[in-house]
Amino acid sequence: MRIARFTTGDDPAYGLVDGAGEKIAEITGDPLYTKIELTGQVYAVSDVRLLAPVIPRSKVVGVGRNYADHARELGNEVPAEPLLFLIPNTAVIGPGDPVVMPPQSQDVHYEGELAVVIGRVCKDVLPEDVAKVVFGYTVANDVTARDLQRSDGQWARAKGFDTFCPLGPWIETDLDVADLRLTTTLDEEVVQDGTTADMVHGVATLVAHVSAAFTLLPGDVILTGTPAGVGPVRPGQRVEVRIEGIGSLSNPFVRH
Ligand code: ZN
């Protein structure tokens, strides 16, 4: 299933998106917590505004340097264990929402990533049990103020600004993520073209590792790292991240 969150101008609702990504069938509640029941209302996707498909209740967990080529391009070693950081849920925005580049940074980068959405409360999950706690997958842009990441040492500010965590366009619940093509386009130019097969630590290892540290709650999101090709965005440019089997997430970047 593809589960989207959307609005037609009223309160946000959830819906099931068809395979072509053209129609959305409204459902009654939040599918993380309630059984999926159709309301009977169907919209054209083009007639609704898609929202972030999930607002993480407690946290977004990021993973640093999980693709060897990306670690190398920034002059870093691949860490022996997954390198974790936290992003506040206030950074999350949806498809089409503008990323607001803050005055504190002059070097804001895109990072296209596969995002894992957790479906149930869990702790100390074994790698072989990870599929049971994953609700689905979506696309993320782990926007990073690269200059502040370097100068701060800690990554909380560099990756945690409001609007720095676009998620969408929807959650795909049935997906084998072992080898999915991930491309990022900056305006018309393809800048990242990788595959999830090149992750240093795969999804099962990452979820197990994260849950060994933190209790995960339904709606928590884990970002799985970015392939090579990161780079700066200028105000007025648009970044689109596309993952095979899910769809594409596109956001304009602006400076106020
Ligand atoms: Zn990242």
In this structure, the answer to whether residues 38 and 100 fall within a common structural domain is no
| Lowest-confidence region among 8-12, 102-106, 197-201 | 8-12
Structure tokens at 120: 């149930």
Distance CA(120)–CA(192), nearest Å, equals: 32
Residue 135 and residue 199 in one domain = yes
Write the single-letter amino acid at 226. T
Q: What is the CATH number of the domain that holds 44?
A: 2.30.30.370
Q: How far is the CA of 226 from the centre of ligand 1 (A)?
A: 5
At 71, the pLDDT band (50, 70, 90 cuts) reads: confident
Mean pLDDT of 118-134: 98
42 Cα to the center of ligand 1, angstroms: 35
- What average pLDDT does this structure show over 85-113? 98
Whether residue 227 is predicted with pLDDT greater than 90 in this model: the reply is yes
The answer to whether residue 249 scores a pLDDT higher than 90 is yes
Q: Which residue has the tokens 């080529």?
A: 69
pLDDT at 256: 79
Q: How far is the CA of 84 from the centre of ligand 1 (A)?
A: 10
pLDDT, mean of residues 85-96: 98
Task: For residue 39, report the distance from its CA to the centre of ligand 1, in Å.
Answer: 37
DSSP assignment of 110-178: E-EEEEEEE-S-BSS--GGGHHHHEEEEEEEE--EEHHHHHHHSS-HHHHHSTT-EEEEEEEESS---S
Domain containing residue 91: CATH number:
3.90.850.10
CA dihedral 11, 19, 61, 182 (to 10 degrees): -140
Residues 104 and 33 in one domain: no
Same domain, 164 and 99: yes
Task: Say if residue 93 is in the same domain as residue 35.
Answer: no
Q: Is 202 found in the same domain as 151? A: yes
Q: What is the pLDDT of residue 146?
A: 97
Given this model, what pLDDT does residue 134 score? 98
Q: Do residue 82 and residue 26 come from a single domain?
A: no
Question: Residue 234 has which token pair?
Answer: 């200028």
Residues 102 and 134 in one domain: yes
Average confidence (pLDDT) over 228-236: 97
- Please say which residue of 27, 51, 75 terminates a domain: 51
- Considering the domain architecture, whether residues 74 and 183 belong to the same structural domain is answered as yes
pLDDT at residue 51 in the model: 98
Report the separation in Å between the CA atom of 65 and the middle of ligand 1, taken as the mean of its atom positions: 7
- C-alpha angle 211-62-86 in degrees, rounded to nearest 5: 80
Q: How many domains does the chain have?
A: 2
Could you tell me the distance, in angstroms and rounded to a whole number, from the CA of residue 140 to the centre of ligand 1? 9
Ion ligand 1 nearby residues (CB, 5 A): 111, 142, 226
Same domain, 14 and 119: no
pLDDT band for position 197 (cuts 50, 70, 90): very high
Domain that holds residue 151: 60-255
Residue 88's pLDDT band, with cuts at 50, 70 and 90, is very high
Q: How far is the CA of 12 from the centre of ligand 1 (A)?
A: 28
102: tokens are 């803050």
The arithmetic mean of pLDDT across residues 31-53, rounded, is 97
Note the pLDDT tens digit of each residue in 145-195: 999 999 999 999 999 999 999 999 999 999 999 999 999 999 989 999 999
Q: How far, in Å, from the CA of 10 to the mean position of ligand 1?
A: 33
Mean pLDDT, the chain, as a whole number? 97
How far, in Å, is the centroid of ligand 1 from the Cα of 46? 30
Domain limit, last residue, from 32, 51, 70: 51
Residue 61 has pLDDT above 90, yes or no: yes
Determine the pLDDT at residue 95.
Answer: 98
- Residue written as token pair 């540290």: 213
Q: What pLDDT shows up at residue 24? A: 98
Same domain, yes or no: 47 and 64: no
pLDDT at 57 over 90: no
Same domain, 123 and 229: yes
Would the pLDDT of 10 be above 90? Answer: no
